[in-house]
Structures are given as structure tokens and as C-alpha cells.
């Protein structure tokens, strides 16, 4: 009995040790997987909340979460109750930022819009009120009200916004209040802002309300140019705004010229000669019409009579020719910048067609080249994406590549579990290629040097006796050719033809690029080679299972235990587990546990 008890306890200990070894192996595999892939989540189920931890309802029978909190406000309308937060509370809880980033803060761009509107009020209406008789004692209070509202916007811009603008000094972004204020006080912007708010309005008490005293308000032009830069940075089609702005320049020059013409006519006397304005009809529209004909030099104007009229007309002609030529040149630059990509595409296509015609390339090939140019341009808006990103720093190129390609590459089974930084380095090596309908992406028997990721479109894998049967159709997000990147010893030949079904946009990763990356990531290289071997085995498994009768197995299957031996073991167990048969029985259990 002592011997049987000892053997029983030793068998139990061995079984327990085997279970512990198995658990330790599983734990080690999980830790390895977590180290190679930080995104991998545990297979364990998430803990379930205990019923005892559930909140106990209050004595009133209503759960606290169902009651409206003290911060929520409700208003009843008809038969419904709506939850809202009063706008006054929002204003009270809002805190004005202590520092403002002038490059990215949209609130600052909105404020610049109001400053520019105030500046335009002064620039456009000061000449009108000075030249035309539109400012009268009856409406003087309306003009002054808007004038001083614009002055208030100017003042708030100086005191609230400009003193909070961040700036860069020695490569650091300065956000200290005192430093930002001192930087603004030392800038040229502060001097111009103070100059444009000169209180010349006090002269109103002596000479009357003369709009020319407000002319310094037009010196706040820096805010206008800053607003243009900020707005163009956030617009998707900035060239439209540039065209509108250039047109506004032309309209403003005509506006000022019409004001000067009415002033000259009033100085000479309305209707005194055939050259001056005769005082009939709408004065501003008639003078603006005269300014358009003069600046654009259309002709058909009455000849000036007096010396003053002749000098005024000569200066007007010279100014008109200069201003109009500048406007035409600026408009040409704006339109040219907007169509620069289209012009580059046309020049490339024309040069290629000229080259093909020189070497007498067949028309079928020429038509395919033209189709490639047209589809690539219309689908991508450019011919080569790498040319667009070559000027960016490496970190910014990586950020763009992650946003564009990471979701596709992360789904590739071959790269799951690899170092994330290796994936990032690989994203920068991806190259976009467009294939036309019925183009061969790869052919059977070729040496595989690339992996393909389908970005858009479809490809068909062909096979069968004639090599034309469609085995499978791969869609966007699918990957093929990945095993060829790591295969060696002749195992990297293509096993089927792959043809583009329609237009297909593919990402290509070349083998040499991957090898250059894997030099710096040896652990990922080992993992990739293991996965490649498993994928090759799984691909070849159906062929191995169909082997002939002469095929020999490296490890033959284990023979079943004879029935007589099983009966003897069972009888030994019923007899108490004595003798060598009992030890064999426990040994057999150990082998079964190890196999499991």
C-alpha cells in the first residue's frame, strides 16, 4: 500500500507539473505576442461587474441617474420637455484664452474679419463722404455711430487680441503674457495701430465734421494682409478668393477715381463745361461710368477745356494705364497659379506624344498611354504623389502616410504582430501605380520582387489549363504577392497571372525596400520569416494531402493501444493500481496529457 500511494502521489505531482508547464508556455507566448505587437489585446474576457456592486436605489424608488441633475435646465413647450443650457451660463463659464496662436486659431481669423470690415468701411466711405454730398446734418448721427463703432473694434484689437498673440523666439513658442505684450509694443504693427487711432476728431468742434480727418483710420492695412494670409491657409480653393480680391482692387481704384472726378467737377462748377459732370441723374453712378471709361481707356470722352481739366485728365490717363496693367498682371498670376497643375499635366502629355510620334510607336500603345495620363490626372489630381511630398520633412511625410495608408497595411496578415515603427518606415516606401483595364500586374513564373495592396479598383487572378479562368477577384483592401517578399530558394516565383479588371490603383512595396527596413528590426524579421513559412505550408497543404501511396511520412502516426492491453489496465485500476501495469497506466495518462 505504501508503494501504491507513493506512485499515485508521484503521478499526481507529474500531472500537476505538466499542467503548470503548459500554463507557463501559454503565458510566455502571450507575453511574446504583446511585446511584438503593442496593439494586441488579451484573449481573456473582460471582468464582469459583480451584482453586489450595482447601485442600490434610494428609498424613493428612483435611481439617482434618472433624476435631472442640478446643472441641467428644462423648458416645457406644448406637451414636450426640452433640455437646454442657458446661453448666459455659457458666457459666464467661458474664459478668454491667455494666449492666441495666430496661425491656427479660427477665432482669431473671425476677429480679423471684423477688423477688416471696419477698415473697409473707412477706406470706401471716407472718399465718398468727402467728395459727394451724401453726408448731411440730417443723417450725420448715423455716420458718426458707425465711425465710432469701427474705432471701438480698432481699440479692442489693440488691447485684447494683439497683446495675446504668440510668437516664436529662438525656436520656442512664447506664451508668457508679459513677453507677448512687450513683443507687440516693440513691433511696427503697434506703431501703425496707434497712428491710425489719432484723435483728430476733436477738430470737429472747430472746423465741423470733415471725413478727411478720419483718413488715418485707413492705415490699418496690416490687418487686411494678415487676414488674407490666414484665410488662404484654411480655404480649400484659395485661388477663388484671390480672384475676388484682385477684382476688388480694380473696383476700388475705379471708386476712388469717380470720387476725384466729382470733386474736380464741383471745383470747376457742375455743368460749367462739357468735360465736367453736369449734375443730372445719379451722381455716383455717372461718375463711376466716367472713371471706367477713363481708366480702361475706352475713349469717347469729351475733351478737357481748362488747364486744370487737362492736367487732371493726363494724370488720370497715366494712373489708369499703370493701375490697369498691374491688375491684369496680377490676375494672370492668380489664374496661372490656379491652373499650374493642369499646365504641367498638359506639357508632360504633349512631350510624351511627341516622343512616341518621333519613334513611330503603334497607335494602340499611344492610346493606352493617353488613357493612363487622363485617368491618373482625373483620379489623383497629379501624376506623381511623391513629387508633392518631397519638400516636406520626414516626420510630416510619415504623418501623411499613416493617415492615408496605415488602415490598409495594418490589415495585412503578414505584418500583424510586427514592430509598429517598422510598419511606419514601410509606409514611406509605398509607391502608388495605376493599371489600365486588362493590364498584367504580374505573370506566372516571374520572380516576385514586389507586394501589391489594392487601393481602388479590382484585379483578377487567372489560372486553369488555359490560364484564362478567373480563380478569384480581389477588391480594394486586398493584398497579394506578400510571400514573395520573404521567400527564398526559388520559392519567390509567381504562381498565377494577375490582371487588372478595369482601372486599378495599387500600392507597391519592393523587396529591396523591405530588406533595408528589416536590417534595423531583427525581431520583426524573424517573425516575418516564421509567418512566411507557415503561409507557404498552408498554401501547399492540399497538394501534400493528395500524395500517392509511395509517399513516406517523416513522423508516422501513432498506433492505437490494443484492446486487450486497455482491458488489463482497467482491471488493474479496479484492483487498486498495484504492480507495473498501474505504473504503465499512469504513464499512458502522462503521454496523453503531453499530446494534448
What pLDDT sits at residue 30? 75
Beta-bridge mates of residue 74: 83
Q: Give CA separation, 518 vs 140, 440, 453, 522, 552, in Å.
A: 79, 29, 19, 6, 38
Could you tell me the pTM of the whole model? 0.62
Going by C-alpha positions, the residue among 124, 154, 146 that lies closest to residue 222 is 154
Closest by CA to 518, choosing from 437, 415, 365, is 415
Burial zone of 420 (CB within 10 Å; 0-12 exposed, 13-18 middle, 19+ buried): middle
The residue assigned the cell 463659464 is 93
* Residues, the chain: 596
- Determine the 3-state secondary structure of 212 from DSSP: helix
Euclidean distance between CA atoms 320 and 295, whole angstroms: 4
Within 364-476, strands assigned E span 431-435, 440-442, 450-463, 469-474
CA dihedral 124, 125, 130, 134 (to 10 degrees): 140
**Cα 240 from chain centre:** 21
The angle subtended at Cα 368 by Cα 366 and Cα 374, nearest 5°, is: 105
Say how far apart CA 66 and CA 458 lie, in whole Å.
52
Listed in sequence order, the residues at least 6 apart from 576 whose beta carbon sits closer than 8 Å to its beta carbon are 4
CA atoms within a 13 Å half-sphere pointing along the CA-CB vector of 219? 16
- Check residue 43 and give its pLDDT: 42
Q: What is the H or E stretch that residue 238 is in? A: helix 238-268
Domains in the chain: boundaries: 95-234, 238-383, 392-540
- Cα→Cα distances 144→126, 129, 149, 198, Å: 12, 12, 8, 16
Distance (Å, whole) CA 424 – CA 402? 7
| 236-243, long-range: CB < 8 A, 24+ apart | 239/334, 239/335, 239/337, 239/338, 242/334, 242/337, 242/338, 243/331, 243/334, 243/335, 243/338
Q: What is the pLDDT of residue 512?
A: 87
Alpha-carbon distance of 157 to 197, in angstroms, equals 12
Q: Which three cell numbers stand for residue 485?
A: 517578399
Q: Helix, strand or coil for residue 77?
A: strand
- Please compute Rg for the chain using Cα positions: 42
Pick 392-540's CATH classification: 1.10.1740.10, 2.60.120.10, 1.10.1270.20, 3.40.50.1100: 2.60.120.10
For domain 238-383, the CATH architecture is Orthogonal Bundle (1.10)
Q: Quote the DSSP letter at residue 419.
A: -
Quick one: pLDDT at residue 40?
A: 45
Helix 238-268 and helix 307-338, axial crossing angle in degrees, nearest 10 = 180
Any idea of the CA torsion for 87, 89, 90, 92, to the nearest 10 degrees? 130
Task: Write 234-240 long-range contacts (CB < 8 A, 24+).
Answer: 234/106, 234/109, 239/334, 239/335, 239/337, 239/338
Q: How far is CA 92 from the centre of its chain?
A: 35
Q: Which helix (H) or strand (E) holds 506?
A: strand 497-510
> Rounded CA gap, 515 and 358, in Å?
40
Helical (H) or strand (E) element with 479: strand 479-480
Q: Residue 10 phi/psi, 5° resolution?
A: -65, -35
Looking at residue 66, what is its pLDDT? Answer: 44
Across the 596 residues of the chain, what is the mean pLDDT of every consecutive 10-residue run? 64 80 80 58 40 42 44 49 58 80 91 96 95 92 95 95 91 90 93 93 91 93 94 88 91 94 92 89 92 80 89 88 84 82 85 90 89 82 69 80 78 78 85 87 85 87 84 85 66 81 87 87 85 72 46 47 60 55 68 66
Amino acid at each position: 500500500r505504501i508503494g501504491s500511494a507513493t506512485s499515485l502521489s508521484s503521478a499526481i505531482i507529474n500531472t500537476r507539473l505538466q499542467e503548470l508547464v503548459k500554463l507557463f508556455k501559454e503565458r510566455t507566448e502571450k507575453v511574446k505576442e504583446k511585446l511584438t505587437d503593442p496593439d494586441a489585446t488579451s484573449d481573456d474576457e473582460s471582468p464582469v461587474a459583480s451584482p453586489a456592486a450595482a447601485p442600490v436605489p434610494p428609498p424613493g424608488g428612483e435611481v439617482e441617474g434618472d433624476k435631472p441633475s442640478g446643472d441641467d435646465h428644462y423648458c416645457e413647450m406644448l406637451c414636450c420637455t426640452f433640455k437646454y443650457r442657458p446661453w448666459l451660463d455659457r458666457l459666464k463659464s467661458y474664459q478668454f484664452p491667455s494666449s492666441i496662436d495666430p496661425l491656427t486659431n479660427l477665432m482669431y481669423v473671425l476677429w480679423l474679419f471684423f477688423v477688416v470690415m471696419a477698415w473697409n468701411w473707412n477706406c470706401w466711405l471716407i472718399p465718398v463722404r468727402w467728395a459727394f454730398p451724401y453726408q448731411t446734418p440730417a443723417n450725420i448721427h448715423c455716420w458718426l455711430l458707425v465711425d465710432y463703432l469701427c474705432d471701438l473694434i480698432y481699440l479692442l484689437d489693440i488691447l485684447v487680441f494683439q497683446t495675446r498673440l504668440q510668437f516664436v523666439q529662438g525656436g520656442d513658442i512664447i506664451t508668457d503674457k508679459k513677453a507677448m505684450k512687450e513683443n507687440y509694443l516693440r513691433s511696427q504693427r503697434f506703431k501703425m495701430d496707434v497712428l491710425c487711432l489719432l484723435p483728430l476728431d476733436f477738430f470737429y468742434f472747430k472746423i465741423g465734421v470733415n471725413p478727411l480727418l478720419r483718413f488715418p483710420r485707413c492705415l490699418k492695412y496690416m490687418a487686411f494682409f494678415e487676414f488674407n494670409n490666414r484665410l488662404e491657409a484654411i480655404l480649400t480653393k484659395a485661388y477663388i478668393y484671390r480672384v475676388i480680391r484682385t477684382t476688388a482692387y480694380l473696383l476700388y481704384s475705379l471708386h476712388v477715381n469717380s470720387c476725384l472726378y466729382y470733386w474736380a467737377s464741383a471745383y470747376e462748377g457742375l455743368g460749367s463745361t462739357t468735360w465736367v459732370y453736369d449734375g443730372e441723374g445719379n451722381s455716383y453712378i455717372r461718375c463711376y461710368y466716367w472713371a471706367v471709361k477713363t481708366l480702361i481707356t475706352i475713349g469717347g470722352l469729351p475733351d478737357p477745356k481748362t488747364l486744370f481739366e487737362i492736367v487732371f485728365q493726363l494724370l488720370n490717363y497715366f494712373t489708369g494705364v499703370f493701375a490697369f496693367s498691374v491688375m491684369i498682371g496680377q490676375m494672370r498670376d492668380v489664374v496661372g497659379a490656379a491652373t499650374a497643375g493642369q499646365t504641367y499635366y498638359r506639357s508632360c502629355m504633349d512631350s510624351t506624344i511627341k516622343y512616341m510620334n518621333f519613334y513611330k510607336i503603334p497607335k494602340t500603345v499611344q492610346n493606352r498611354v493617353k488613357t493612363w495620363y487622363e485617368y491618373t490626372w482625373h483620379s489623383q489630381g497629379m501624376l506623381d504623389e511623391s513629387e508633392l511630398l518631397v519638400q516636406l520633412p520626414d516626420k510630416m511625410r510619415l504623418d501623411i502616410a499613416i493617415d492615408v495608408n496605415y488602415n490598409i497595411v495594418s490589415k495585412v496578415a503578414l505584418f500583424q504582430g510586427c514592430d509598429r515603427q517598422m510598419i511606419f518606415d514601410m509606409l514611406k516606401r509605398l509607391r502608388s501605380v495605376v493599371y489600365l483595364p486588362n493590364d498584367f500586374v504580374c505573370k506566372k513564373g516571374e520572380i516576385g520582387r514586389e507586394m501589391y495592396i489594392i487601393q481602388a479598383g479590382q484585379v483578377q487572378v487567372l489560372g486553369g489549363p488555359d490560364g484564362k479562368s478567373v480563380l478569384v477577384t480581389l477588391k480594394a483592401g486586398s493584398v497579394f504577392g506578400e510571400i514573395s517578399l520573404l521567400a527564398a530558394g526559388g520559392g519567390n516565383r509567381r504562381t498565377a497571372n494577375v490582371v487588372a479588371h478595369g482601372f486599378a490603383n495599387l500600392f507597391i512595396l519592393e523587396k529591396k525596400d523591405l530588406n533595408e527596413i528589416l536590417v534595423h528590426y531583427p525581431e520583426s524579421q524573424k517573425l516575418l520569416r516564421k509567418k512566411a513559412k507557415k503561409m507557404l505550408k498552408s498554401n501547399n497543404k492540399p497538394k501534400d494531402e493528395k500524395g500517392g501511396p509511395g509517399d513516406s511520412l517523416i513522423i508516422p502516426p501513432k498506433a492505437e493501444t490494443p484492446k486487450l492491453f486497455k482491458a488489463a489496465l482497467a482491471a488493474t485500476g479496479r484492483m487498486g493500481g498495484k504492480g507495473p501495469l498501474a505504473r504503465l497506466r499512469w504513464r499512458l495518462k502522462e503521454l496523453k496529457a503531453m499530446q494534448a
